[in-house]
Each structure stands twice: as C-alpha cells, then as structure tokens.
Chain A
Amino acid sequence: MPAVLNIQNLRKAYSDGFEALKNIDLQIEEGEIFALLGPNGAGKTTLISTVCGITTPSSGSISVSGHDIAADFRAARRLIGLVPQEIALEPFEKVINTVRFSRGLFGKPRKDAVIEDILKRLSLWDKRDNQVRELSGGMKRRVLIAKALAHEPRLLFLDEPTAGVDVELRKDMWDIVADLKRDGVTIILTTHYIEEAEAIADRVGVIAKGEILLVEEKDRLMQQMGKKELEVQLSGSLDSIPGALAHHNLQLGADGASLIYVYDTNQERTGITKLLNDVAAAGLTLRDVVTRQSSLEDIFVTLVREDAA
C-alpha cells in the first residue's frame, strides 16, 4: 500500500527555542486508522499542526499522497481534514452555514447533498438551523467533524476527539471513525486513552517528548498484551531450575525463591496444570501463585519512563 502521509526527518522548534518535535519519521498507509498515543505535551498537536500547515516545520519534509505540503500546498491540503483538539467555532453562525463555509474554503463547489449526508451521519441534521452557540459541547465537537469532512478529505486528523467526552459520544465517535474507514478515508487520531487505541486503531504509534518511540500493528501489540506471566512462589529458595522442570522454559525469580512462567492466554493449552503438577512432583512446596498481564499500558508506561530517564 502506498504511503498517504510521508514524514521525514521532521524537526520543529518553536520561536522560544523549545524543540517540540525531534527528527520524526512516520509513514501512514492509505486507508488505515493510526492512533498516535502519548502523554500531554508529547508533541501530538504540534505534529498534526505542522502537517496541516498551521505551524511551519523547522526542517524535514512532509508529503501527502506525494504532494509536498510546502511546494504543492494546495493539492496537499485539499486532501486533508482537521478536527482540532480545542473547540473553536463561530458562535453566531448557523450550523449548516459554517459547514458550507468549510467546503467553500477548501475550494469545492457548493453541493447540498454532500452537506446533508454529513450532517445526518453526525446526527446534526435536526440542528442545522441552530446557531452554534446553542449547542452542547458534544454537539459542537460533531460540528467540528462535519466541517472537517465538508470537502470530502482523504486523510482525516482527529486531535483527541474523545477528550472530555461522555461515554456515549465516545462510542458514537468510534462508529463514525469506522464508517469513514469503510469509505476509504485514512484516519490519524491522537489520544492518551489506551483503550481508544485498542478499540479502533490498525496501528499504534507512541510519542513522548517529541520523539516517536514505537510504531506497531495493534494486533501484534495485542499479542504481546495477551502474554501472561505466572509466578510460582516457593517456600525455600533454589540455586538453579531443577532438571525435571527444564522443559517448561522457566526463569528463576529474585533470590531463587520463585519460578516464572510466561504463557499465551490466546493459546488453547496454557500448560499451567502440567507445570504445577511437575512442580509438586519435583518436591517443591508452593507458597503462593501470582499472575500478571502485560498490557499496552505497561508497554506505554515503560517506554515513556525509559525515555524520560
């Protein structure tokens, strides 16, 4: 699949000298949902703003479907839709007019059928003649999405679409994203909710302090997540793993007082029963048994902490 977004060696320093992005390399494939995961201040908004032309890169190159965002900015930007993190809307204009405005601004001729379809999909059709300021926060966020979709973009950025949004709207938002993906729209969303990335992303990137630490297929991450650790705590302590247990692929815990067994919960047979039987047969006495799951959150926290160190 060709890259719809290609970012190379991107660096962004703000005018106060702060380096918000350090040497970012990122390729986004056509049609995928990519979740950019990172704590506050990681540089997610800066990255999106730079691609969309709101801030200027200090160095590096960015292209959208082969169009350089500087040299060929019109072609590049026509393909992009942006839903910003903060709600920013003209308060006194009618919903339908601000959405029409967005379409015109992106150079597309007026087409009421498209606007109607978008408003209906976002459950805004009944509110089309309301002034924006009369809407609730969640509805305003929908208007932002409608505006971003008005010119039928191929690449949609959603900057923390579900931050501060209630559970119901979050589910709705995920449905909308799934819908857009079905239409072949590539979606890049930022979030600091791991469950959000798990729920809807095809690939996940982790960013912290202006650097991308990891980009991985979500399924592969889930597999890692599916791994569980079983710690068999013993009454005594061992110098080495008894020969009778060698084939279980165990590790010796701290002080030799425990045995650690890693298994895959997705597997039909975890091998736990056999292991515990063998442990008993080897004459070892169990003190306790503990299981631990490594989650995306663990991976994330570890990565970010390592980066901070």
Chain B
Amino acid sequence: MNWTAIRAIYMFEMARFFRTLAQSFVSPVLSTSLYFVVFGGAIGSRIDEIDGVSYGAFIVPGLIMLTVMTQSISNASFGIYFPKFIGTIYELLSAPVNFLEIVIGYVGAAATKALFIGVIILITSFFFVDMSIAHPLAMILFLVLTCVSFALFGFILGIWAGNFEQLQLVPLLIVTPLVFLGGSFYSISMLPPIWQSISMFNPVVYLISGFRWSFYGLADVPIVASLLAIAFFLGICLAVVWWIFKTGWRIRQ
C-alpha cells in the first residue's frame, strides 16, 4: 500500500472542503434549522409524539441521515468526476498507485466531509430539541458505515458519469425519493398497510430505522435487519469497485 499517496489524495480533497468551509457548513446548518422550523414547529405541534418521542426529536436521526447520504454521494461523485472533467486524472493514472488506493483517498475524504456535516447537524439539533442518545457507539457505527457506503456509491457514480447531467440524475431520480420515502419524517407504522409493505423494499428505511434505534431504542424494522441492509449495500458497492478495478472500466482507454 502506498500510504503516502493515499494521504496526499485525502488531504488534497479535504483542502477543497476547507477552502469552502463556511459554505460547507452554513448550508446544512441552515437547511436543518429550516426543517426544524417547518416540521418540528409547524407540523410537530399537531403531531406531538411518536412512540413517546417528541416529533422534533423523532426527525433528528432522519434529518442527519438525509444530509449524510446526499452529501456522501455528491462529495464522492464530484470528487472523482471533476478530475475526469478537467483532465487532471492523467496524474492519478500515471502515478504509482493502484485503484484501491485511489478509492481509499477519495472515498475516505468524501465520507469524512459527510461525517463532519452529520455531526454539525447533530450539534445544531441539540439547540432545537430535547433529546438523548441511547446507544452512542451504535450511532457512530451507523453514521460511519452510511458515510462510507454512500461515498463508495457516489464514487462509482462519478466514474460512470459521462457528463454533469448524468452526475445529478441518479441522486435526483433515485436517491432523493428513496431517502424522502425512507421514514425520515414519519414512522413506517403510520402508513397504510400496502405502503408499509412497499416500504420494506426501500433500503433507506432500514438505515434510518437502525439509526433512529441508536437514539431512542425505537425501530421500524429489527436492528439486525438494519445492520444486514447496510452491510449488503456496502458489499455491493465494494464488489462494483472491485470489478472497476479489474476491468479499468471508464478509466483507462
């Protein structure tokens, strides 16, 4: 392993993040605050509690997941797509690094950024609602696994994308709907039975449920199912990355 190279890629990508630090933080903090005002304040005042948890507190894990998933994907996909677009990828391809090292550098940086933002939202949330974290270690585990697996997914997306439209299409058409319908703002048990069954095919439901369990001990699906879901998703992404590594798909002509 060329750790010096991995470090160089990681730091270079993080520098991009720190250059736009204010922007990187202000936007998620602002949107989270807006969610609290709209959902927690306006709607929450009519819902009051779900399974003994105030509505404001109930949506916190979902909000964090929502942001962390979309940030991981956009950071990682943009991170690798940008060098392809401006041509600086020549340097990665001619360097004494293998694909795995490139993946660790880019995905590691994208996941770190998303994790940062997730933590910022968590801290912001404490200002708005009264809440506690029942299983902190599980919470961190879920958060990190989600950041890493979605960053991997974003990396694959960035390798695949041939233009900016494609880069935005998948998050817009697939990820955002799945995340919004994944139980960020409601409990699956509040849905009509047919929609409850359909929701079971949405992988995001398992992640949000597991993450919420780590806060309040409440879950829509068994915690084991949540863990299996994230492991499965991670496994698929790793397999695809491995295949890209073997074939050089969309990287080397």
Contact B4–A107 (Cβ < 8 Å): yes
Looking at the complex, which one of B11, B86, B97 makes contact with A88 (CB distance below 8 Å)? B86
Contact A55–B253 (Cβ < 8 Å): yes
Looking at the complex, which one of B4, B19, B87 makes contact with A86 (CB distance below 8 Å)? B87
Interface flags, A76-111, vs B, CB<8A=1, else 0: 111010101010111111000100111111111100
Contact A74–B96 (Cβ < 8 Å): yes
| Distance A93 CA – B213 CA, assembled complex (angstroms) | 42
| Distance A91 CA – B7 CA, assembled complex (angstroms) | 21
- Chain B residue numbers with a CB within 8 Å of A74 are 2, 96
Judge whether A224 is part of the interface by a CB distance below 8 angstroms: no
- Chain B residue numbers with a CB within 8 Å of A101 are 8, 11-12
Residues of A within 8 A of B (CB-CB), count: 36
Q: A77-B94, A80-B94, A104-B5 are in contact. Are A14 and B12 (CB under 8 A)?
A: no
Looking at the complex, which one of A80, A91, A104 makes contact with B86 (CB distance below 8 Å)? A91
* Segment 235-253 of B: residues with Cβ below 8 Å from A: 248, 252-253
Contact B95–A77 (Cβ < 8 Å): yes
| Distance A75 CA – B97 CA, assembled complex (angstroms) | 10
| Distance A76 CA – B95 CA, assembled complex (angstroms) | 10
- Chain B residue numbers with a CB within 8 Å of A76 are 96
- Chain B residue numbers with a CB within 8 Å of A88 are 86-88, 90
Interface flags, B37-71, vs A, CB<8A=1, else 0: 00000000000000000000000000000000000
Q: Which residues of B contact A (CB under 8 A)?
A: 2, 4-5, 7-9, 11-12, 15-16, 19, 83, 86-88, 90-98, 248, 252-253
- The 3 A-B residue pairs whose C-beta atoms are closest, nearest first, are A104-B8, A88-B87, A74-B96
Q: Which residues of A contact B (CB under 8 A)?
A: 14-15, 49, 52-56, 73-78, 80, 82, 84, 86, 88-93, 97, 100-109, 147
